Copies of this chain bind each other. A is one copy, B any other.
Amino acid sequence: MTELERIQTLILESTPVLGRELAYILDSLNRVLADEITATEDVPCADISAVDGFAVFHPSLDGVSKETPAVLRVIGESPAGRPCGASVGHGEAVRIMTGGVIPEGADVVVKKEDAEERGQVVACSENPGRGGNIRFRGEALKAGEVVLAAGDVIGSVEVCKLASLRRAHVHVYQKPVVAIISTGDELSDFHESSSPGKIMCSTLYGLAAQVLETGAVPLLLGVAPDNPLEQQALFSEGLRADVVITSGGLSNGKYDFARETFKAMKVDIKFMNIAMKPSKPAIFGAIDGTLIFGFPGNPTATMISFEQFVKPALLKMMGRKPAGDAQENPFGGIDSFGVDLMGCDSHLRASLVPCRKLTTREGKLR
């Protein structure tokens, strides 16, 4: 197991799967089913016609051919959605449309192309065999049959299946709320005027976009200045979230307070520093059920760290199953090295390798 995998595993071990909530079918898109979905009734729920034509009692078609059609009396009609009350006897037929319920007594449907209706009678020139052109009750699905499994991700096909089963709402796993904080006196936000030496807190918005892309809910707490008390106040506001991500303040500079703040808040720190660049200074911990991730101020480093460490945790919280070989690599394929944040690498902090020099330790990171 590589160092990266060891840390990913440690994070996932500390990450709970969140509870369930009822979601409206269209709001369940891209979310994970928390319940197995079974068919509540047979599909189709009755024997129905697969074609437009005439429903008849099979013996009425004995010996028919193009030359010697069976001339049957039309006793009613069964359009889709409006079943016909009549019972079909020998020598009788009911006009039927695709999806129409097969009337009592009938056990075969002659296609309209093989039937010629004239006044009250129809001449049928083809015998499709008993049961021909009928879709039988439960043919597609039997009541009780499993249609979707707990853990399935809901796409448009699943929405269609759920609708066909009259499921307007389904239980899905809840979305984690992710509080996001940037620290640093050099940072300004949209509502503040820019001034010399100030740069935008772009990491805040990059992280919020990543949280949205993952399907979770960002809670933008904004910028905390390089001041231990103000940082602690803002970090504490994040504790009502499921996850807190901070960026900046992790180096050993005179004005780097994030580490102290986490300690003052009695965060149970599971690890500090990760053997990878550029996100080396990183902290993972937990307090009162909230996961805490502390990343560098550099947006490239922090956004890569998000993909490597936070995203797998958020996916687990939302009920996603690990991809690939769960033992070897819990959320395989997450490797975002090579992300280019051209124009964003202006926020470098001492501890970071500039994103142009993104490196991985040979043999340590895939």
Residues of A within 8 A of B (CB): 25-26, 29, 39, 43-46, 48, 50-52, 79-83, 95, 97-101, 135, 140-141, 147, 155-157, 159-166, 168, 184-187, 190, 194, 196-210, 212-213, 218, 226, 251-255, 299, 303, 339-350, 354
Contacts and interface: CB of A to CB of B under 8 A. Distances in A.
A4 to B, nearest CB: 21
| Copies of this chain, count | 2
A340 B43 CA distance: 16
Nearest to A148: B343
B164 A343 contact: yes
Contacts of A147: 342-343
B164 A346 contact: yes
Contact of A186 (B39, B99, B141): B99
Contacts of A184: 80-81, 99
A348 B161 contact: no
Contacts of A187: 81
A147 to B, nearest CB: 5
Given A185-B80, A205-B163, A209-B29, A52 B346 contact: no
A139 to B, nearest CB: 8
Contact of A98 (B161, B164, B196, B348): B348
Chief secondary structure at chain A's binding surface: loop
Contact of A82 (B46, B194, B197): B197
B341 A157 contact: yes
A346 to B, nearest CB: 5
Contacts of A226: 79-80
Contacts of A213: 29, 155-156
Contacts of A347: 99, 164
A354 B81 CA distance: 19
A165 B342 CA distance: 12
13 contacts: A26-B209, A29-B212, A50-B348, A80-B186, A81-B184, A82-B186, A82-B197, A95-B254, A99-B184, A160-B202, A160-B299, A161-B344, A163-B200
B197 A100 contact: yes
Most B CB contacts (10 A, CB to CB) among A51, A160, A209, A252 go to A160
B157 A346 contact: no
Nearest to A43: B346
A350 B111 CA distance: 9
Contact of A197 (B80, B135, B253): B80
A206 B157 contact: yes
Contacts of A101: 196-197
A253 B52 contact: yes
A68 to B, nearest CB: 26
A194 B212 contact: no
A208 to B, nearest CB: 6
A275 to B, nearest CB: 20
Contacts of A81: 184-187, 197-198
A74 to B, nearest CB: 13
Contacts of A155: 209, 213
* 7 closest residue pairs by CB, A with B: A160-B206, A81-B186, A80-B186, A156-B209, A164-B202, A81-B185, A163-B205
A185 B44 contact: no
Given A156-B303, A190-B168, A253 B343 contact: no
